[in-house]
Amino acid sequence: MAREGSTSSPDATGPERPRDSLLVPVHEPVLLAEVVQLLAPEEGARILDLTVGAGGHASSLRERAGASGLLVGVDRDAEVLEIARRRLAATPGARVELIAGSFGALAELRARLPSSAYDCVLLDLGVSSWQLDLPERGFSFRRDGPLDMRMDRGSELTAERLVNECSVEELRRIVAEFGEERYAARVAAAIVEARRSRRLDSTARLAAIVRAALPPQPAQRIDPATRTFQALRIAVNRELEALRDFLGRFELVLARGGRLAVISYHSLEDRQVKNAFRERAREGDYEPLTRRCLTPAEAEIERNPRSRSARLRGLRRLREEERR
Ligand SMILES: C[S@@+](CC[C@H](N)C(=O)[O-])C[C@H]1O[C@@H](n2cnc3c(N)ncnc32)[C@H](O)[C@@H]1O
């Protein structure tokens, strides 16, 4: 069972894993049973997973929908779609279509979807373990890689550009706001000082600069560079803008009677989801499926530490005859 309403620190890291690249998908879906229960796909359901990643949630949902159902998996990372394709090919269930795109551009994306209305829509925000574990994607401070952090490798903004080109004040704001780092001013000053001697281009060097900038800390669960890396990733991928855009227009893809579930990993995301869902319910066209957010049980956190900051919320769009 999931616990209700608890919070935990934002941290997207976990134990070291062997680098098994494309062959073995290592992302373990978070709150899987809860998501399946909340979205409750019936035989023949049309499912839209807008963050299909390694296809973990998608494969379970797809099984429930059966052969007459449809599963559309979207991800802005075209490389990750290959992982999803392999995983989904190994499981039975609904017909599958995989599409590269962003839920932050829903109107444009909708025009490319095989159906315009879905019974179950899922957003599982953030990065997948697969992305985190590949040093060349630049998300990880555990293994050295280029300072990239783009989910969509076609986009222009990289973490390297941010850390080398932003003003000290812009960096401080990013690290404070998106990383909730108390010592953001120190981190920003240290980055600006370090780039004077040499352009910053590696995750290991950036992590060392951040750690050195922070005051000595008691033995911790998480690496002190985690918050800064999270902040840069959110800024590079404009994650909060994409979420805000989606939350303002999800009726474009959600059928009447359909259910929407969102898993967030950061209080800024969760606040947006909570407020948007509350507003929709107040307007009388939706009903909440979760009174408070659901969070992983201790056993899941132990098994998969990356799940520890997850919060799940759900909403159902009322049928025409149910509207108040
Ligand atoms: C936490 S993973 C999803 C894992 C997936 N639920 C599973 O079980 O394997 C999040 C995925 O969302 C993708 N993503 C993040 N922001 C996105 C956006 N705006 N549009 C589409 N995909 C996005 C990432 O590239 C990543 O693959």
pLDDT in tens, 201-230: 999 999 999 999 999 877 767 889 999 999
Q: Evaluate whether residue 138 is within a structural domain.
A: no
Ligand 1: atom nearest CA of 80 is: 27
Sign of the torsion angle spanned by Cα atoms 156, 82, 26, 204: negative
Do residue 50 and residue 179 come from a single domain? no
- 226 vs 22, higher pLDDT: 226
Question: The domain containing residue 215 runs over which residues?
Answer: 156-236
Give the other-Cβ count within 10 Å of 222's Cβ.
Answer: 15
Residue 21 pLDDT: 41
Query: Last residue of a domain, which of 236, 255, 289?
Result: 236
Residue nearest to atom 24 of ligand 1 (CA): 127
**How deeply is 164 buried, as exposed, middle or buried, from its count of CB atoms within 10 A (0-12, 13-18, 19+)?**
middle
Residues 303 and 206 in one domain: no
Give the Cα separation of 223 and 298 in Å (integer). 21
Average confidence (pLDDT) over 32-55:
97
Contact 73, 55 (CB under 8 A): yes
Residue 160 pLDDT class (50, 70, 90 cuts): very high
Do both 193 and 280 map to the same domain?
no
- Domain assignment of residue 166, yes or no: yes
Ordered alpha helix ranges (H), the chain: 32-39, 56-65, 78-89, 106-110, 129-133, 159-165, 168-179, 184-197, 203-213, 226-236, 239-247, 267-283, 298-303
The span from the CA of 138 to the CA of 265, in Å, is 19
Residue 238's identity, in one-letter code, is: R
Considering the domain architecture, whether residues 14 and 84 belong to the same structural domain is answered as yes
Structure tokens at 269: 């995301």
Q: Which atom of ligand 1 is nearest to the CA of 102?
A: 20
Has residue 148 been placed in a domain? no
Place of tokens 């394709």: 85
Distance 126 CA to ligand 1 centre (A): 6
* Pairwise CA distance, residues 72 & 61, whole Å: 11
Q: Residue 258 has which token pair? A: 């359909």
Is there a single domain that holds both residue 277 and residue 305?
yes
CA of 54 to the centre of ligand 1 (A): 8
Instruction: Clarify whether residues 303 and 221 are in a common domain.
Output: no
Buried b (16+ CB within 10 A) or exposed e, 190-201: bbbebbeeeebb
Q: What is the CATH number of the domain that holds 214?
A: 1.10.150.170
- Global pTM reads 0.91
Does 177 lie in the same domain as 97?
A: no
Q: Give per-residue pLDDT as tens, 112-156.
A: 999 999 999 999 998 998 898 899 999 998 889 999 999 999 999
| Neighbour-count burial for 71-107, b at 16+ CB within 10 Å, e otherwise | bbbbbbbebbbebbeebbeeeebbebebbbbbbbebe
Q: For residue 72, is it within any domain?
A: yes
* Total count of domains within the chain: 2
The residue whose C-alpha atom lies closest to atom 18 belonging to ligand 1 is 102
Model pLDDT, residue 26: 63
Q: How far is CA 51 from CA 168, 286, 295, 299, in A?
A: 33, 22, 19, 24
Please tell me whether residues 79 and 223 are part of one structural domain.
Answer: no
Domain-located, residue 246: yes
Does residue 50 sit in the same domain as residue 69? yes
Q: What percent of the chain has pLDDT over 70?
A: 91
Residues 173 and 310 grouped into a single domain:
no
Q: Confirm whether 144 is domain-assigned.
A: no
Could you give the angle at the alpha carbon of 147 between the alpha carbons of 146 and 153, nearest 5°? 85
- Of 28, 32, 47, 75, best ligand 1 pocket probe by most atoms within 8 Å of the beta carbon: 75
Boundary-marking domain end, from 217, 236, 255: 236
- Does any domain span residue 81? yes
CA distance 129 to 135: 11
Is residue 222 domain-shared with residue 258, that is, in the same domain?
Answer: no
Atom 14 in ligand 1: which residue has the minimum CA distance? Answer: 51
Q: How far, in Å, from the CA of 51 to the mean position of ligand 1?
A: 3
Ligand 1: list residues with CB < 6 Å: 27, 29, 50-51, 53-57, 74-77, 80, 102-104, 124, 126-128, 151, 242
| Whether residues 7 and 125 fall in one domain | yes
Model pLDDT, residue 10: 31
Which CATH number fits the domain that encloses residue 96?
3.40.50.150
* 163 to 77, 199, 206, 210, 301: CA distances (angstroms): 22, 9, 9, 12, 32
Is the residue at 151 inside a domain? no
pLDDT in tens, 69-78: 999 999 999 9
- Residue ending a domain, among 207, 236, 265, is 236
Question: Stretch 294-322: mean pLDDT, rounded?
Answer: 95
What letter would DSSP give residue 146? B
State which ligand 1 atom lies nearest to the alpha carbon of 58.
Answer: 8
Structural Rg of the chain based on CA atoms: 20
